[in-house]
Amino acid sequence: MPAVQETIEQVKEIDVDKYKYGFVTDIEMELAPKGLSEDIVRFISAKKEEPEWMLEWRLDAYRRWRTMEEPTWARVDYPKIDFEDLYYYAAPKSSPGPKSLDEVDPELLETYKKLGIPLNEQAVLAGVEGARVAVDAVFDSVSVVTTFKDELAKSGVIFCSISEAVREHPELVKKYLGSVVPSTDNFYATLNAAVFSDGSFVYIPKGVRCPMELSTYFRINEEKTGQFERTLIIAEEGSYVSYLEGCTAPMRDENQLHAAVVELVTLDDAEIKYSTVQNWYPGDAEGKGGIYNFVTKRGDCRGKNSKISWTQVETGSAITWKYPSCILRGENSRGEFYSIAISNGKQQVDSGTKMIHLGKNSSSRIISKGISAGRSQNTYRGLVSAHRKAAGARNFTQCDSLLIGDQCGAHTVPYIESKNSTAVFEHEATTSKISDDQMFYCQQRGMSDEEAIALIVNGFVRDVIQQLPMEFMAETQKLIGISLEGSVG
Amino acid sequence: MLEIKNLHANVDGNEILRGINLTIKPGEVHAIMGPNGSGKSTLSYVLAGKDDYEITEGEILFKGENLLEMSPDERAAAGVFLAFQYPIEIPGVATMTFLRTAMNAQRKARGEAELNTPDFMKIVKQKASELKVSPEMLKRPLNVGFSGGEKKRNEIMQMALLEPSLCVLDETDSGLDIDALRVVSDGVNALRSPERSMLVITHYQRLLDHIIPDVVHVMSAGKIVKSGGKELALELEENGYADYVNAA
Ligand SMILES: Nc1ncnc2c1ncn2[C@@H]1O[C@H](COP(=O)(O)OP(=O)(O)OP(=O)(O)O)[C@@H](O)[C@H]1O
Ligand SMILES: [Mg+2]
């Protein structure tokens, strides 16, 4: 049964006592009322038919969150968020669910088209045989389309919404949820733990190489809906998975909060490759209306020889606060972070990574390419640390910033902590500008300002682009050009 | 094709071009020679539209249109090509990618369809082999780490691909070994046609042995002080610029 249908059926089945929660709950209601309270947390949990332990986990997080303060250390500046003025639950609007993928709301498919979902993935959505990218689309808060489950199931891979995982695979969720990003981790992660709406769950069994790239497209659709995705990926011993996440959001006036949590776990000899292309609405020329993106992403290389690699292309959002990190616990484990962060207009980006070396001979590599244009501010903030026991730990960091125009800022804030004398950490950083000579040369060959900038910037980020899965490369190169439109002239 | 009338241009308040008059008809090849610092590269940049120059007087007509009103990319699409004296490096951008972007940008500006991959590959491979540019070099970032001669060959390959109607070659011969000089000259000669004009800036007669000009000009202190046939280059080779520099 398609997920929409499923969800609606489930929601209908819930026997909600309208007085118990202190507000009128209409069974058909798409939104929980504004604001956050224990009742809202219970409401979300009930809508999702969650077991008691899940509700308790949320409530714990909620109570903890009430005692926490928003962090202020990042180099970003925005008006104070009124957390009581947000909605914390929204379901998609389509009423009777489609019977098959062919019957998926054409508007939804249209949206995917606008999001630039590659043809092969649209083919998947359209149910064309032979197309091999599974899409678990998180449309607002509830998974709407889940495909290819059967084929994945054949290899024992579980790829479903986290709500479904809570119901169908409680032992796995209980074991791993919050084991990388504890519900007490930070203000936004704790908020997420209390109210997470939905997200993806992936489990790759021992020795399995996931037969296809797994892909999730996010999109924020409801007015004033905080989005709190929660993703959990577990790669058992000797397994491998590549996961793609891409997102965009439509024009709107009000700032939207997005506080996702992603947890990755790799056991012995396992590898997870996690790629993101983020192009949410960055706001208008004055920065009004863009998304606030406060994300906690962390991977735990729990097993020996395990590997986690993060590749991100961040072009959207008014504010990005994001540090995909690796805990290199296993002996000989490896963490990688490849990042392109583009800021234009009045965007503010504070992003980077943490490589926490705990295991012997663990190694990590960081390549960060920051591009600032317009009046934007772009900060790389990174931590590389070696624990006492991390003998032979190695890190190589390369941080390059490119400035376009003279009203933007690029900042590099690297922290290095080493408690083991055998650890070797290397750090290189450069800051450059696109030269007038380069621009003129390109223009002399016929390129417009914008074409020239797109080309030169794509050259600048080449080392990172090459880390992306094939199907993301061309799309990303285009996106880079689009993101920098209006940065000159 | 090209008509330059009483052109004066300043850089940072210094007058570099001081009244250039030059007319090039379709199919003609003109050579400009002249001492270092006389303004030859400046003229080429002004033709291509580099914006460091202030035009204080005069006009340039290209195919009857006011060139000075066009942006550099519009000029390129209209058929102006400059082979740079010092080609620019663009890190991370494969030469192939650069070529394709440039060709498609010009096609787009002229309202033509973009080239598809097989067609593009075919013509790039052909032009590259004519100019002895290896397929391996096409994959390398544009001009990064190229030797002086490789950069110049690359410029001419770009010219061959873009098929401009006015080719301005700024000291394309400097830095070329004897064989490369022949390869490049053959490449340039192959492009000679009744619809295409060339302005060849050089210090050496030997290039003009290969690319035989219709007219030779001597430039000195921002002016053309003497024009003549191909013999003029031979005479300069013999006697140097002394006579003309003093005259200026
Ligand atoms: N920004 C500037 N300010 C002042 N003078 C400048 C500036 N840029 C160029 N010039 C001067 O303009 C003059 C002409 O330079 P140009 O490069 O056109 O000479 P050229 O004839 O091409 O010389 P060469 O044969 O050495 O290539 C030179 O004297 C140069 O120093
Ligand atoms: Mg010169």
DSSP states of chain B: -EEEEEEEEEETTEEEEEEEEEEE-TT-EEEEE--TTSSHHHHHHHHHT-TTEEEEEEEEEETTEEGGGS-HHHHHHHTEEEE-SSPPP-TT-BHHHHHHHHHHHHHHHTTPPPPPHHHHHHHHHHHHHHTT--HHHHHSBTTTT--HHHHHHHHHHHHHHH--SEEEEESTTTT--HHHHHHHHHHHHHH-BTTBEEEEE-S-HHHHHHS--SEEEEEETTEEEEEE-THHHHHHHHH-SHHHHHH-
- CA dist B66 and B136 (Å) reads 41
Q: Is B41 in the pocket of ligand 1 (CB under 6 A)?
A: yes
Longest dimension (CA), chain A: 72
Q: Which ligand is nearest the CA of B13, by number? A: 1
Q: Do B105 and A451 touch (CB under 8 A)?
A: yes
A-interface mutation test, from B85, B89, B90, B110, most A Cβ less than 10 A away: B90
The mean pLDDT of A303-319, rounded to a whole number, is 93
Helix, strand, coil proportions of chain A in percent (round to 5)?
25, 35, 40
In ligand 1, the atom with minimum distance to the C-alpha of B222 is 14
- The CATH number that domain B2-247 falls under is 3.40.50.300
Residue nearest to atom 25 of ligand 1 (CA): B36
Per-residue confidence at B64, pLDDT binned at 50, 70, 90? very high
The tens digit of pLDDT for each residue in A62-105 reads 999 999 998 888 888 888 888 888 878 766 443 343 444 555 55
B-interface mutation test, from A369, A441, A488, most B Cβ less than 10 A away: A441
The mean pLDDT of B159-172, rounded to a whole number, is 96
Q: What percent of chain A has pLDDT over 70?
A: 76
Per-residue confidence at A212, pLDDT binned at 50, 70, 90? confident
Q: Which amino acid is at A261?
A: V
Domain ranges in chain B are 2-247
Query: How many CB atoms lie under 10 A from the CB of residue B111?
Result: 7
The tens digit of pLDDT for each residue in B87-143 reads 999 999 999 999 999 999 999 999 999 999 899 999 999 999 998 899 999 999 999
The mean pLDDT of A265-269, rounded to a whole number, is 98
According to the model, what pLDDT value does residue A1 have? 31
Residue nearest to atom 16 of ligand 1 (CA): B39
pLDDT, chain A, mean: 81
Three-class SS state of A458: helix
CB pairs under 8 A between A and B: 78
The mean pLDDT of A105-129, rounded to a whole number, is 52
**Which residue stretches of A35-78 are H helix?**
38-47, 52-66
The tens digit of pLDDT for each residue in A152-211 reads 888 999 988 888 899 999 999 999 999 999 999 999 999 999 999 888 899 999 999 998
Shortest distance between the Cα of B19 and any Cα of chain A, in A, equals: 24
- Contact residues, chain B, for A441 at CB < 8 Å: 84, 87-88, 90
CB A63, CB A239: distance < 8 Å: no
Q: Which ligand is nearest the CA of B50, by number? A: 1
The mean pLDDT of A365-388, rounded to a whole number, is 94
Is residue B79 within 8 angstroms of chain A, CB to CB?
no
Q: Judge residue B195's burial from the number of C-beta atoms within 10 Å of its C-beta, 0-12 exposed, 13-18 middle, 19 or more buried.
A: exposed
pTM for this model (two decimals): 0.82
> For B72, which of A438, A443, A456 is closest by C-beta distance?
A443
Is residue B78 within 8 angstroms of chain A, CB to CB?
no
Task: List, as ranges, residues with CB under 5 A of the ion ligand 2.
Answer: B 40-41, 85
Q: Does the interface ipTM go beyond 0.90?
A: yes
